Amino acid sequence: MIILDGKKLADKIRNELKAEVKMFDHVGLAVILVGDDDASRLYVSMKKKACEEAGIESFEIKLPSTVTEHELIAEVEKLNINNKVDGILVQLPLPKHINTAKIISVIDPKKDVDGFHHVNIGSLVAGMEDNCFVSCTPLGVIKLLEEYNIDPKGKNSVVVGASNIVGKPMASLLLNRNSTVDICHIYTQDLKSHTINADIIIVAVGKANLITADMIKNDAIVIDVGINKLPNGKIVGDVDFDEVSTKASYITPVPGGVGPMTIAMLLSNTVKSAKMRLSK
């Protein structure tokens, strides 16, 4: 069994990006944070620190939870025309009175480094990855597979979780690489009947120890995107790591697997946007 070390690969990518950023006049990432949710503030601070380490200028726009949809759209539109900003990220979740899909649709697709805009999603589904931005977590998974020379071509892949952020783009990325893809979700009956025949299993649902050893075949490749906090404070994924690792050929740990790759891909997408800006 081989551990897929996302932290090691993320550090390597971030060092490469740091060298690359020096060749630009500037590279900038703007993050809009609405309200004072503790988890959101932590994520934003991590992204800001990662930008600073890579030499990417970080713009942080903090807005109160009472901000109106109209006011938030105005902030996004200002960033759309700001030449210092290559990437725009609106930290989710947003307050319930704001239509998240509407806000994302206002972001310039060429600055949508989160890969959530419908233009970028459509390009991904159409197989035009080079000309769009791909959601950072599933893109990180693909880079991790590539680093360990795991080719999805011809393999049976099961994606557990059908979110717009991970599950759906993950399935598209695998399809684009000629894998046979099965998507499971909360309404799937008999999950084990799907996972037991999978060569590659990617789990992103947020339920601790959902995938157990009896649900996978010998030598399966297991990618755990989940992150859960147990009552005792321990951080675990969606996979019963101790048991599943005895059968898997490759497996990601939690923490230290997919998580570090997400921020590395955010930085990578921002640099990609800067390249697109300069190529105009």
Catalytic residue among 47, 110, 111, 168: 47
Catalytic residue among 5, 86, 112, 114: 114
Q: Is 91 a catalytic residue?
A: yes
Buried-state track 145-176, b at ≥16 Cβ within 10 A, e below 16: bebeebebeebbbbbbbbbebbbbbbbbbbbb
Q: Tokens 């995107």 belong to which residue?
A: 225
Q: Is 153 a catalytic residue?
A: no
Estimate to the nearest angstrom the gap between the alpha carbon of 23 and the chain centroid.
26
Catalytic residue among 91, 110, 199, 272: 91
Could you give the residue numbers annotated as active site?
47, 91, 114
